[in-house]
Amino acid sequence: MRKYSFLWMLLPAFILYSVFIAYPFFSSLGLSFYDWPGIGPKKFIGLANYKNILSGFMSSEFYNALWHNVVFFIWSLILSVVPGLFFAFLLAANMKGTGWLKVVFFFPNTLAIVVVGFLWGLLLNPQWGLINQLFRVVGLDFLAKPWLGDTKTALPTIIFVTAWRGLGFYILIYLAAILGVDREMIEAARIDGASELQIASRIILPHLYSIIATTSMLKFIWTFNIFDIVYAMEGTQGGPAGSTDVLGTLFYRIAFGGLGASQVGMGLGATVVTLIFLIVLPVSIFYVFIVEKRVEKGE
């Protein structure tokens, strides 16, 4: 047994991770079969929670929020990949004096999401916010509107603010991937007369597919973490009129109450979690195997 005496050093991380990260996901599955407000005895109700959420009284709220997560994912994917690649390519030309731009681009990422939400909430204030005043000054009065107060524009606005914060992260990742492409291949193409655009699109871009794929998978998974930005800009209700409600805020209302929760229950909340988990799990497993394979190959 002395041979394995080093294993104790693994234990603290293993135990903490198991108890507070791994176990809760399975424990949620167990809780989802119960009706339980959080204290007192649990009542086993079989699949009733699932029925209520998927086709019962909670279903319209659930699908509404789920749809917003989907919209959120698709748009923030587009808003990170397209400008992310574009600016990464511009930085990849390694022009003199562009080093500081990386720091600037990344900076919004270091701000707390609630800080970003509150800041943009003030900037987007319909009356006194800077954004609308700016639109009025330059004569685009029709754009000066209550962006966060209109059911049509509220979600797009939140998605935009999230993209504003996150873009720099993707630029830097894509830039690093571009710089990792074999230089000789690029030189050879250049000697063969390829234009810079052709080099970027035909030679470099194909090498970026795998990093785009993994960042997209992470983005998909993290989409289900979205909570702070909606909370800070539109409150726990995901207002106006539920137009920005996401699974994170819905789940928060169900499990931990708050004003205007249509139903409070740990069991019901755990059911929402389990359903999200079922959506995310295949992607998570796929992601972990890809990353592990890449690490193995890199050695």
Partner 1 sequence: MLKFNGFQKVLAWIFLLLLAFANLYPIGIMMLSSFKSTKEIFLEPFNLPSVWRWQNYVSAWQRADFATYFKNSVLVTALSIVSIIIVSSMAAYVIARFDFKFKRGVYLYMLAGLALPTRLAIIPIFLIMRNLHLLDKLSGLVIVYTASGIAFSVFLLVNFFKNLPRDIEDSAKIDGAGPFRIYWQIDLPLLKPALVTVAMFNFIDVWNDFFFPLILLSSKAKKTVPLGLQAFFGEYTVEWDVLFAALNISVLPILIVFLILSKQFIAGLTEGALK
Please report, as residue ranges, which positions from 122 to 181 form the binding site for partner 1 (by CB under 8 A).
Answer: 122-123, 128, 130, 133-134, 137, 164, 167-169, 172-173, 175-181
List the structure tokens of 224.
């289900």
Query: Shortest gap between Cβ of 153 and partner 1 (angstroms)?
Result: 18
User: In whole angstroms, how close is the CB of 243 to partner 1 at the nearest point?
Assistant: 21
Told to check if 204 binds partner 1 by CB under 8 A, we report yes
Q: Judged by CB under 8 A, which of 45, 71, 81, 119 binds partner 1?
A: 119
Residues paired with 43 in a beta bridge: 35
Q: Residue 57 Cβ, how far from partner 1 at the closest point, in Å?
A: 21
Cβ-contact 21, 28 below 8 angstroms: no
Q: Which of 62, 73, 120, 147 binds partner 1 (CB under 8 A)?
A: 120
CB of 80 to partner 1, least distance (A): 13
Q: Is 202 left (phi over 0), alpha (psi -120 to 50) or beta?
A: alpha
Q: Under a CB-based contact definition with an 8 Å cutoff, are residues 155 and 69 in contact?
A: no
Least Å distance between CB 119 and partner 1? 5
Number of residues that bind partner 1 (CB under 8 A): 111
Calculate the alpha carbon distances from 186 to 41, 70, 176, 205, 208 in Å: 67, 38, 16, 12, 14
Stretch that binds partner 1, among 44-52, 53-61, 73-81, 249-257 (CB under 8 A): 249-257
- CB 265 within 8 Å of CB 251: no
Binding positions for partner 1, 78-117, rule CB under 8 A = 83, 86-87, 89-95, 98, 101-108, 110-115
**Residues 18 to 57: which contact partner 1 by CB under 8 A?**
19-25, 27-28, 31
Q: How far apart are CA 133 and CA 123, in angstroms?
A: 9
Beta strands (DSSP E) in the chain are 34-35, 43-44
- SS3 of residue 297 by DSSP: helix
- Report whether 92 contacts 179 (CB < 8 A): yes
* Among the listed residues 231, 234, 245, 246, the single contact to partner 1 using CB under 8 A: 231
Is residue 266 a contact residue for partner 1 (CB under 8 A)? yes
Residue 114 pairs in a beta bridge with none
Q: Which is nearer to partner 1, 61 or 132 (CB)?
A: 132
Q: Which is nearer to partner 1, 90 or 152 (CB)?
A: 90
Nearer to partner 1, 46 or 197 (CB): 197
List alpha helices for the chain, DSSP H.
11-17, 23-31, 48-54, 59-92, 99-106, 113-123, 130-137, 154-179, 183-191, 196-198, 205-223, 228-234, 247-256, 266-298
Please list, in sequence order, all residues whose beta carbon lies within 8 angstroms of the beta carbon of residue 151, skipping any fewer than 6 positions away.
240, 241, 243
Q: Whole-number minimum distance, CB 258 to partner 1, in Å?
A: 10
Residue found by looking up tokens 């992607």 in the block:
283
Q: Which is nearer to partner 1, 4 or 142 (by Cβ)? A: 4
Using CB under 8 A, which of the segments 40-48, 70-78, 147-155, 251-259 binds partner 1? 251-259
Tokens standing for residue 69: 């997560």
Q: Please, what is the minimum distance in Å from the beta carbon of residue 32 to partner 1?
A: 10
Give the H or E element holding residue 226: none
Between 20 and 142, name the residue whose CB sits nearer to partner 1: 20
Which of 183, 191, 193, 259 is the binder for partner 1 (CB under 8 A)?
Answer: 183
